[in-house]
Amino acid sequence: MIEARRLHILRAVADHRTVTAAAAALYLTPSAVSQQLAALEQETGHRLVERSARGVRLTAAGDILLAHANAVLAQLERAESELAAYGSGAAGTVTVAAFATGIGLVVAPALTALARSAPGIQVRVQDAEGDASLRMVLDRQVDVAVAVEYRGAPRADDPRLTRLPLYAEPFDAVLPTGHRLAQAEQVAVADLAEDRWIGPYQGNPCHDVVVLACEYAGFQPRLEHSSDDFRAVVALASAAAGVALVPRSALRDVDLTGVVVRPVDGVVPTRRVFAAVRRGAEEHPLFRPVLAALQEAAAAQG
């Protein structure tokens, strides 16, 4: 009999690529993870992982078991959801991981609505970038992620996750007031090819959006300054340190002294935001009202 707990460990190892990283995500020791993998191999009668200097990868047998593990774990989530519904599920705690502007735009309004419509649900919020929050959901560190599409993100049909679209927003060009294009009504990304750039660190989903927009325009941006805080990005632009592309919502309530903000001409880079839970958990009586409140808050933004 294969233990579901060991299937979860197998998936974490497949996701994180090393035993050490998987152990950290699961709050286990590396030796405990290795012991569980060995026990799983004994249960199945197959070698499931191969170790190398670069980390761990699944064998062909491991890939077969992982596909079944995703289905089994999703079904267990559904079972928990139905049992919780049977027991009413009217009260409990839901943990949501979201990036900073997503917290302001949809999570905080959702909390206000839930306080009226579902007072028994307590929501705990953790600030996490859009890529990190998905991993936190899969590792069961949080229940719901408010995440951003990025290069390498799990696909919409990923068997591990259920995704619900929230909103999409454009990036605007942020230029120093003395910039040669400051008086233009719109700014084409291609016209900024020779400029110095300010942007998020690599790994931040917004970094991917900026780089892909520049690549589409035919150049690689010369990123000389990096910050994941868009207030800092705008401040650097105001000091004429470079130009930037910033999500429109991130410019709300930001001091724009010393900069001009212009819409992008042509193909507009866009941040696409969605909520995600583990596959099978979307009908949990605690999660369902939170997801609905997030969608309603996003719809209210127009």
pLDDT digit string, tens, across residues 268-284: 999 999 999 999 989 89
Across residues 13-22, what is the average pLDDT? 88
Q: Please check whether residue 26 is in contact with residue 62, taking contact to mean a CB–CB distance below 8 angstroms.
A: no
User: What is the per-residue pLDDT for 144?
Assistant: 97
172: three-class secondary structure by DSSP = strand
Q: Please check whether residue 78 is in contact with residue 279, taking contact to mean a CB–CB distance below 8 angstroms.
A: no
pLDDT bin (cut points 50, 70, 90) of residue 147 is very high
Summarize pLDDT for 51-64 with one digit per residue, the tens. Answer: 887 888 889 988 88
Summarize pLDDT for 166-199 with one digit per residue, the tens. Answer: 999 999 999 999 999 999 999 999 999 999 999 9
CA 260 to CA 176: how far, in whole Å?
Answer: 6
pTM score above 0.85: no
Closest CA to 268 of 249, 284, 245, 240: 245
Q: Is the confidence at residue 89, as pLDDT, over 80?
A: no
User: What is the per-residue pLDDT for 86?
Assistant: 56
Q: How far are the Cα atoms of 130, 152, 189, 217, 253 from residue 156, in angstroms, in the given order?
A: 15, 12, 28, 27, 32
Q: Is the confidence at residue 2, as pLDDT, over 90?
A: no
Across residues 277-293, what is the average pLDDT? 93
**Tokens of residue 179, six digits:** 């910039």
User: What is the per-residue pLDDT for 129?
Assistant: 80
CA 61 to CA 39: how far, in whole Å?
Answer: 15
CA 13 to CA 34: how far, in whole Å?
Answer: 10
Q: How far are the Cα atoms of 54, 120, 159, 190, 225 from residue 9, in angstroms, in the given order?
A: 19, 32, 16, 46, 39
Q: Is the confidence at residue 33, as pLDDT, over 60?
A: yes
| H/E element, 43 | helix 30-44
Q: Is the confidence at residue 9, as pLDDT, over 80?
A: yes
pLDDT bin (cut points 50, 70, 90) of residue 301 is confident
Q: 88 vs 105, which has greater pLDDT?
A: 105
Which residue type is seen at 74? A
With tokens 């079972």, the residue in question is 79
CA 203 to CA 197: how far, in whole Å?
Answer: 17
